[in-house]
Amino acid sequence: MKRIKIILGVIVALTIVFFATGLFFKETTYTTQITVNKPIDEVFSLFNDTSKIKNWIPDVQSIEVIDEKPEKTGSTYKMVVKNNNGEEIALEEKVIAFVPNEKVTLRFKSPTMLKTDDYVFSFTNGNTTIQNNSRCIGGSYILSCLFPYFKGKLQSIDQEYLNNFKAFIEKN
């Protein structure tokens, strides 16, 4: 009987810690970065070419223009991605900021999360550095409790995409 009480006590404690996570961590943030051996104008142009995105983000199934502005800021797209289970998920992508050769900020909205990617481009010694500052907010309280525990996985996925981009652009 004593073991059952201990086991139940541990389960209750872990449950409380899990649900308290959502109270203390409203969002999950992380940074990824890559340096590309190409000029900044070429890197920025290719990075923002939606027709080429499937070459470095293989999960993207399609991108459809909903509203494209000439200055890019405020443009919205419907993006369909395939998750690890093979399910297709529709996302709304909105360009929040667009400064040529300097910065692009994208917001992705889905039923499960709101994610903002703030890409900053810099050029030094013949190389272009892309730094991505990401912020994820769960679409529900339970997801807000989960995201901090999966921060490393989210960060590794974004880093993999940047690594794919580097390989793609340096190959061309």
The alpha carbon of residue 42 and the mean position of all alpha carbons in its chain are separated, in whole angstroms, by 22
Residue 26 is assigned to a structural domain of this protein: yes
Residue 155 is assigned to a structural domain of this protein: yes
- Alpha-carbon gap, residue 16 to 150, rounded angstroms: 18
Residue 115 is assigned to a structural domain of this protein: yes
Q: Which pLDDT band holds residue 6 (cuts at 50, 70, 90)?
A: confident
pLDDT digits (tens, 9 = 90+) for 85-124: 888 999 999 999 999 999 999 999 998 889 999 999 999 9
Domain that holds residue 16: 2-59+97-171
Residue 25 has a pLDDT of: 78
Q: Can you give the CATH number for the domain in which 146 is found?
A: 3.30.530.20
Q: Which amino acid is at 58?
A: P
Residue 21 has a pLDDT of: 74
pLDDT digits (tens, 9 = 90+) for 66-82: 999 999 999 999 999 98
Residue 138 is assigned to a structural domain of this protein: yes
Report the pLDDT averaged over residues 11-33: 83
* pLDDT, mean over the chain: 91
pLDDT digits (tens, 9 = 90+) for 115-153: 999 999 999 999 999 999 999 998 888 888 888 888 999
- Alpha-carbon gap, residue 105 to 149, rounded angstroms: 25
Residue 17 is assigned to a structural domain of this protein: yes
Residue 6 is assigned to a structural domain of this protein: yes
User: What distances in angstroms separate CA 12 from CA 6, 9, 25, 66, 109, one per listed residue?
Assistant: 10, 5, 20, 47, 33
Residue 64 is assigned to a structural domain of this protein: no
- pTM comes to 0.87
Q: How many folded domains does the chain comprise? A: 1
- Alpha-carbon gap, residue 154 to 96, rounded angstroms: 21
Residue 74 is assigned to a structural domain of this protein: no
- Give me the DSSP letters along 75-125: -EEEEEEE-TTS-EEEEEEEEEEEETTTEEEEEEE-SSEEEEEEEEEEEET
Strand partners of residue 20:
none
20 or 81, higher pLDDT = 81
